[in-house]
Amino acid sequence: MTITTARAGEPPPARRPIDDAPSRVDKVFRRVTTGGGITVLVLLVVIGFFLTLQSAPALRYAGFGFFSTVEFNTTADSPVFGVLGMLTGTITVALIAVFIAVPISVLAALFITDYAGTRLRGLLTGLVDLLAAIPSLLYGLWGFSFLAPQVEPVTAWLSRNFSWIPLFATKENATLTQSMFVAGLVVSLMVLPITTSIIREVFAQTPPGEKEAALALGGTRWGMVRSVVLPFGRGGIVGGAMLGLGRALGETIAVSLLLPQLPSIVTHVLESGGATISGFIAHNAGISGLGLNAMMAAGLVLFLFTLATNFSASIIISRSRSGAGVDA
């Protein structure tokens, strides 16, 4: 590198002016990205407005009882419908899926970022991303025709040995195939790619200097992971879990095949029964009249619930990328 200095008696070289004005390409790129962000917000507002408008007749008819009624029957002389049974089923399936998927996602992300070699890391990353490209219909068919019969002995064993836990208790001769547990197990496979990808990206941003310092002080690889990587990625784990929860809440085709779609408050997850909002809507897609408005109202509840979950996850993930988890 050559350093130019002024000779004695000569004026110093003129400083190069710094122009921070954006170029034409920068302006175009900024307008395109701003337009994309505004388009997404407009679509969300339009969807919310459409659901609100379409669900207004059902909400006026049912009143606040719509949120506290379990039964959903629009074909009777006096229609009765509510979202409580479907909402509890949706949350139950989503929580089962997250409880199964998140620990596996954390272990997979740790192996990819801190244990796997360069070639294996690229292969595993591609395979995890490939799982997200499998259509949910295939997951549902696989779960209905293959996984449910294979898991039935496991659910029977859980019922026999852990019936003292209310969730695992079952009635005598109860059907164990179309259950919340089986649906949550299948949905957990669909949640794995997004949670693993988010957690892996956050783990990969762990400051290399701190990881090397932990190893230089005589720590083992697991000690480095426990003291540096996991604290740094704590927000990413929570954010990935919440994004996975949002993904599980909106799953439609798979749960429509795996559950009988009978709205009820299921207290025993190993027994057949229950419904989710999205699955029930898909199962009754041909309904019309007030029933259609009631379906729109249920969809509005799911839309708002999922939107709040995803926004919360985005906030947590953005904070985790600052590295605040290391200082906590």
Q: Where are the domains of the chain?
A: 86-284+306-327
Say what percent of the chain tops pLDDT 90. Answer: 14
* Radius of gyration for the alpha carbons in the chain, expressed in angstroms and rounded: 26
Q: What is the pLDDT of residue 72?
A: 83
Cβ atoms of 158 and 273 within 8 Å: the answer is no
Q: Tell me the C-alpha distance between 98 and 199, whole Å.
A: 14
Question: Phi then psi for 81, rounded to 5 degrees?
Answer: -150, 145
Question: Phi then psi for 243, rounded to 5 degrees?
Answer: -65, -40
Per-residue pLDDT at 241 exceeds 70: yes
Q: How confident is the model at residue 154 (pLDDT cuts 50, 70, 90)?
A: confident
Residue with tokens 């904070």: 319
Strand partners, 73: 80
Say what percent of the chain tops pLDDT 70. Answer: 91
**Token output for 8:** 């004695």
Cβ atoms of 97 and 187 within 8 Å: the answer is yes
Considering only CA atoms, which of 186, 182, 102, 88 is closest in space to residue 137? 186
Report the pLDDT averaged over residues 237-243: 86
Q: How confident is the model at residue 327 (pLDDT cuts 50, 70, 90)?
A: very low
Report the pLDDT averaged over residues 145-170: 83
Q: What is the pLDDT of residue 9?
A: 63
For domain 86-284+306-327, the CATH class is: mainly alpha
Cβ atoms of 278 and 255 within 8 Å: the answer is yes
> How do residues 4-53 score in pLDDT, each as one tens digit?
555 666 666 667 666 667 777 888 888 899 999 899 999 999 999 999 99
**18: how many CB neighbours lie within 10 A of its CB?**
5
How many residues in the chain?
A: 328
Cβ atoms of 229 and 78 within 8 Å: the answer is no
At a CB cut-off of 8 Å and minimum separation 6, what does 206 contact?
A: 113, 228, 229, 232, 233
At a CB cut-off of 8 Å and minimum separation 6, what does 254 contact?
A: 136, 137, 139, 140, 143, 183, 186, 187, 190
pTM: 0.83
Task: Give CB contacts under 8 A, 24+ apart, made by 159-167.
Answer: 159/270, 166/267, 166/268, 167/267, 167/268, 167/269, 167/270
